[in-house]
Amino acid sequence: MIITSINIYNSKALPLRMGWVGLSTGEYEIEFNAEGLPSGVYFYRLTAGSYSSTKKLMLLK
């Protein structure tokens, strides 16, 4: 089992949503509830073990 985290940040790098999950190897889907967030650019960071990746997310309502 690998400790995996998924964090959502606003454009000022402030954390908005954080999730920690222990997952075994495989493919997963995660539902993001953007209720209460305005349209705009956000960033998400996926960390699994020593791997880390940050990507841009554009929210349109």
> How far apart, in whole angstroms, are the C-alpha atoms of residue 22 and residue 7?
14
> How far apart, in whole angstroms, are the C-alpha atoms of residue 45 and residue 53?
6
* Residue 36 phi, psi (nearest 5): 90, -5
- Please give the model's pTM, rounded to 2 decimal places: 0.79
- Scan for tokens 């999730």, then name that residue: 19
Q: Which of 6, 8, 4 is nearest to 16 (CA)?
A: 8
- Residue 20 pLDDT level (bands cut at 50, 70, 90): low
Amino acid at 3: I
Is residue 8 pLDDT above 90, yes or no?
A: yes
Mean pLDDT, rounded, for 14-34:
81
Mean pLDDT, rounded, for 44-51:
90
Residue 51: alpha-carbon gap to chain centroid:
14
